[in-house]
Structure formats: structure tokens, C-alpha cells
Amino acid sequence: MADKPELTVNVVTPDGSIYEETTDMAICKTTQGELGILPNRLPLLASLAIDEIRVRQDNGEFDEVAVSGGFLEFSDNTLSIVASAAERKEDIDSKRAERARERAQERIEKAKKAHNPDELRRAEVSLRRALNRLSISNR
């Protein structure tokens, strides 16, 4: 693999670095749409959507990491994903996510009744996070 260009993916959260691998391609969902990142790319800054990061393994399969927003920074063949929360597919607690989904839905109902746009927006973000975790862990 010496001749094949590689990049390092590093997912950091306040509770430490949770994922670090080298790969030949990583696929991220930015707020604008999906973005594939290959080695030797120009330095890049982008804001991330609440979605997943997919990192291609040697055998062609993808590692999946759920991220809740944040941003990515790419330079010197190092892709840093800086998010306030992120989990690898294996680490997702689907029961917890399920509960979070229910909670978020309740909050949305309540906020709609109370006509509280701020709260509604926040609840929707929580719901998106929960759904994101669930969809990744159930795949």
C-alpha cells in the first residue's frame, strides 16, 4: 500500500478521540450535501450535518460513525472531524437513542402547542440526532 495515497481520519469529541484510522476515502455529509474526501485534497473547512461519516476500509466495506453536527477540517492528509458528540456504529446505545427519540417527539408536540419556535427548533435537532443514531445502528 506504500504507493497508494492515504489519509487519516480522526474524530475528536470533548470526551476524547473516538475514532482514528487511515483510509483511501471518507464520505461526509456537510450541510450542503454529501462530500467525498480523497487523499491529497486541498485544505478544507466545512460544517457537518447531523448524519454519518463513512470511512472505506481495505476490504471495501465502510466504517460508520454517527456525528451530531460540528465541522470538519482537512489539511496535510489528515481529516479531523470536530463534533460535540460522535459514536461509532458499534457503540451506539439504541435503547438510549430510542428514548431520546420519544422525548424529542414529546417536546415537539408541546412546543407546537405552546407556539414556542425556539424550543421547537431545538427539539427538532434532538429528534434528528436520535433518528440519526437509530438509523445507523439498525443498518
Partner 1 sequence: MPASLQEVKRRITSTKKTGQITTAMQMVSTSKLNQIQKHTKTYQVYASKIRNVITHLAASHLLDDVEAPETVEEGEVNSLAMLQQRSVKKTGLVVITSDRGLVGSYNSNVIKQTMNLISKNHHSKDDVEIIAIGGTGADFFKKRGYDIVYEYRELGDVPTFREVRPIVRAILKMFESEKFDELFVCYNHFVNSLTSTFRGEQMLPISAENLGSEGLSDTNDSGYNLEYDTEPSEDAILEVILPQYAESLLYGAMLDAKTSEHASSSTAMRSASDNADDIIAGLELQYNRARQSAITTEITEITGAQAALE
Does residue 84 touch partner 1 according to CB under 8 A?
A: yes
Given 2, 3, 4, 45, the residue binding partner 1 (CB under 8 A)? 45
Q: How far apart are CA 136 and CA 53, in angstroms?
A: 10
Q: Which is nearer to partner 1, 73 or 98 (CB)?
A: 73
Taking CA atoms, 84 is separated from 57, 108, 115, in Å, by 25, 22, 28
* 106 HSE (CA, 13 A, CB side): 6
Q: Which is nearer to partner 1, 47 or 57 (CB)?
A: 47
Does residue 14 touch partner 1 according to CB under 8 A?
A: yes
CB atoms within 10 A of CB 118: 8
Enumerate binding residues for partner 1 (CB under 8 A). 12-17, 30-32, 35, 42-48, 69-71, 73, 75-76, 80, 82, 84-85, 118
